Amino acid sequence: MGTDSAEQAIAMAAELVYPALMPVAALEREFVLARGETGVMALRVNNRKSATYEGEQNRQGIRVGELGLMINFDDSSELTDIPQIYHLPNTPHWLLGVVNLHGRLIPVFDLLRFLHLDSSPDQSTQRLLILGHDADAAGILIDNLPYRLKWTNEKQSDADLAPQLLEPHVRACCMIEEQIWFDLDSDSLLNALERTLEAN
């Protein structure tokens, strides 16, 4: 078989496995890496809202009211007692203000207010968790010390179990010890908070 014929055969096979999509349809789908039987990494179209993970996953588990959130270990840069929060005028009620942390002004958000969820937090156990790094850092109030969570695909549920405003920023949802946890894309959430602030 000549080089041209071989290339045509490969192209035809690729179209059968991964049919051409209209650009809009392609953007609405999620592409994840999957390991085939040959051990070669290949792109696979995933129509589910939840991400698909291979093997055991490790996350930090945090609680915000009744909400269980999981974040990557490198998504947070600091955990501290809540310092003095300086309130800012003419800002949404879910932006609590800013704190001075190591000479930097860090915005502090109340996620429950942003998500329109009711809560009666125990302020004696609340902590300030800093997400992001350097100029992109922001703080959220959490209701417990973070702890390590381990989970696998078998424990996953559909991400659309998340509150509506949180759902776009949830990569996966899983059940651990009879409790639902949402795997949070913290960068996506912080970007959404920033965009919403700019729109107000």
Task: Say if residue 194's pLDDT is above 70.
Answer: yes
Sorted by where each starts, the structural domains of the chain and their CATH numbers stand as 3-46 (no CATH), 57-199 (2.40.50.180)
Confidence tier at 133 by pLDDT (50, 70, 90): confident
Question: Which is higher by pLDDT, 89 or 55?
Answer: 89
**Nearest 10 degrees: Cα torsion 178, 179, 183, 187:** -170
Helix (H, G, I), strand (E, B) or coil at 33: strand
Q: What is the pLDDT of residues 93-106, one digit of tens each?
A: 999 999 999 999 99
First-last CA distance in the chain? 64
Average pLDDT, the chain: 75
Alpha-carbon gap, residue 182 to 157, rounded angstroms = 10
Q: What is the pLDDT of residues 60-79, one digit of tens each?
A: 999 998 899 999 998 888 99
Residue pair 126/140 in contact by the 8 Å Cβ criterion:
no
